[in-house]
Amino acid sequence: ESATAFGCLVSDMWLGEFDYVSPEAFHSVFGKRYPAFSRRTQHDAQEFLICVLDDLHEAFKEVRAQLCQERQSPTAGTSTRSSSGTSIITHLFEGQLSYGIRCLRCKALSDKPESFTVLSLPIPSTRVCSLQDCLECFFQPDTLTRNNQIHCHWCGSNQDATVKASITKAPQIIIFHLKRFAWQDKHRRKLSTTVCYPFSDLDLSPYISTSCHNNTEYSLCAVVNHAGDLDYGHYTAFCKHSVTKHWYSFDDTQVTKIPDSAVQADTAYLLFY
């Protein structure tokens, strides 16, 4: 299965026996479960990442459930999924948002929780902005009117409302997706905006609910870059070694050590903190 193939891929990378490791075996197995990614055509790294995380979550959740079942019944021969729905993936990557929705007529406040593994951030500029600008844009309050009205339980009818998101559970590893592919003037195109992102001390406390007690400061550990446009492109990655703290560039068969200054790139698409 794809989880086993992924484990073999990670093992090969950490053994350090090769100059580079090809993910062909993992890609082949994963493509059988998700045929859309089996074709050698342009795909979106964010969509691929979400599918991989979901697939690994399901695999690890099933293994955990089977182990629990075997402890309870030595003769049990089939696995069942864990009712808690947790895994190493949710432990590391899953966060929780809460959307506070306030009716503008009766002022009643309700909360809508939502889990996430990737936060897709709008880019509020066409030239230069910061990651904090993107976060401010994502978390700014919005007004729901006309076709977007809420049905207020207390008023018994559709009403205008305000909605504001906050983080109620901050994940250990938070992934930001910069929405570079956007609609402008009825045409979808790629935004080449320079987004400046910090390497350390990213403080999410302005967007964290007071009920959340998680650590709110993060350091950058990896970047996925996209060079090209809507119809064609090339993905590369920058990753920080967890032991040496050196940065490396992964570009197909080329793995090279790079200076910290090279990590700030205009092609950044996914940021891992």
118 burial via Cβ count (<10 Å: 0-12, 13-18, 19+): middle
* Per-residue pLDDT, 66: 58
The confidence score (pLDDT) of residue 245 equals 95
Q: Which CATH superfamily is domain 115-141+170-272 in?
A: Cysteine proteinases (3.90.70.10)
pLDDT value, residue 75: 41
Distance from C-alpha of 17 to C-alpha of 11, rounded to nearest angstrom: 10
Q: How far is the C-alpha of 15 from the C-alpha of 8, rounded, in Å? A: 10
Say which residues have a Cβ less than 8 Å from residue 71's Cβ, sequence separation at least 6: none
pLDDT score for 62: 66
Place of tokens 């996925």: 224
Q: Give the separation between CA 184 and CA 181, rounded to whole angstroms.
A: 10
Confidence (pLDDT) at 236 = 97
CB 159 within 8 A of CB 193: no
Could you tell me the pTM of the whole model? Answer: 0.88
Written as tens digits, the pLDDT of the chain (273 aa) is: 899 999 999 999 989 888 899 999 999 999 999 998 987 778 899 999 999 999 999 999 866 555 555 555 444 333 333 445 899 999 999 999 999 999 999 999 999 999 999 999 999 998 999 999 999 999 999 999 999 999 999 999 999 999 999 999 999 999 999 999 977 777 788 999 999 999 999 999 999 988 776 677 999 999 999 999 887 899 999 999 999 999 999 999 999 999 999 999 999 999 999
CA dist 249 and 260 (Å) reads 11
**Residue 62: alpha-carbon gap to chain centroid:** 22
Token look-up 């305000």 returns: 162
> Strand, coil or helix: what is 61?
helix
Where do the CATH 3.90.70.10 domains begin and end in the chain? 115-141+170-272
- pLDDT at 81 (0 to 100): 34
> Distance (Å, rounded) from C-alpha 111 to C-alpha 5?
40
